[in-house]
Structure 1
Amino acid sequence: MADKKYPATEAQRATGDWNPMWDTLAEMDPDYLETFLAFRAVPQTKGPLPQKYKELIFIAINVATTHLWPSGVRRHIQNALKAGATKEEILEVMQLTSIMGIHSMALGVPILMEEVERHDKD
């Protein structure tokens, strides 16, 4: 990876919104990771939705019973709080997502409380 430039990968690392699994993927297939991150960045960097709403959607995706990705939930709750979302707005997103299954609430609510507490300390 050192010989070739990977702008999407470098840009994603710079945001601090980095999934540690991507480190392994960068070693195994950096071209794939670069392509994936470039594709993923389009709706994140373009379009009319404010960042706060994008983060709320990411929370919904990550707490969904078909996904259940705790590190993504944490990352996007932190990002949503930084973008101005309230605890109540995040909870409503989880409530709406819970229609897919109550597991969304079991995963998301404890993480929400931990991240709100962490955010309030900063």
Structure 2
Amino acid sequence: MSTYLEQAKTVAGFVETLSREHPKAAEGFLTLHKSSAGDSALTGRQKELIALGISIAIRCEGCISCHVKAALKAGATQEEIVETIGVSILMGGGPSVVYGEKAYQAMKEMM
């Protein structure tokens, strides 16, 4: 397995590939992403923590890598990420324990 940071870069790289190969799909995804990110009623940090929680619950490793990276960049603390993992376990049950560990390892790698 590659590192979580490499995995996040791979996802970003594929979005670039998709931009060339299927520009409308990439444009739609990037427009949605940009319109949902950033500060408004919720801060960008809060939104990234929510996205991380959902990533764990739906068991998406690439999403975990990207949202741990973005949460840290947005100023999330270890305590906030660990608490997000806890909420994800509440909502996702046993499989979220497994993917919560992946989010924890990604956070430790990227800090």
Shorter chain as denominator, the TM-score bin is: 0.7 to 0.9
**Aligned equivalent of 1:42:** 35
Name the structure, 1 or 2, with higher relative contact order (CA <8 Å, separation 6+): 2
Question: Which residue of the other structure, out of 82, 98, 102, is the alignment partner of 1:106?
Answer: 98
Superposed, 1:54-69 pairs within 5 Å as 54-64=47-57, 67-69=58-60
Q: Which runs of 5+ in 2 are unaligned?
A: 1-8
**Aligned equivalent of 1:76:** 67
How many residue pairs get aligned? The number is 101
Give the alignment's TM-score, normalised by structure 2. 0.73
With over 3 angstroms needed to count, the CA separation of the structure-2 counterparts of 1:81 and 1:45, relative to structure 1, is: closer
Instruction: Provide the identity percentage.
Output: 29
Q: Which runs of 5+ in 1 are unaligned?
A: 1-15
Q: Work out the CA distance in 1 between the residues paired with 2:12 and 2:109.
A: 22
Q: Work out the CA distance in 2 between the residues paired with 1:114 and 1:39.
A: 25
Work out whether 1:115 is the aligned partner of 2:107.
Answer: yes
Aligned-pair CA distance for 1:103: 1.2
One-letter amino acid of the structure 2 residue matched with residue 60 of structure 1: G
Aligned-pair CA distance for 1:46: 5.5
Runs ≥4 in structure 1, deviation > 3 angstroms?
18-21
Aligned-pair CA distance for 1:47: 2.1
One-letter amino acid of the structure 2 residue matched with residue 79 of structure 1: A
Structure possessing the higher radius of gyration over alpha carbons: 1
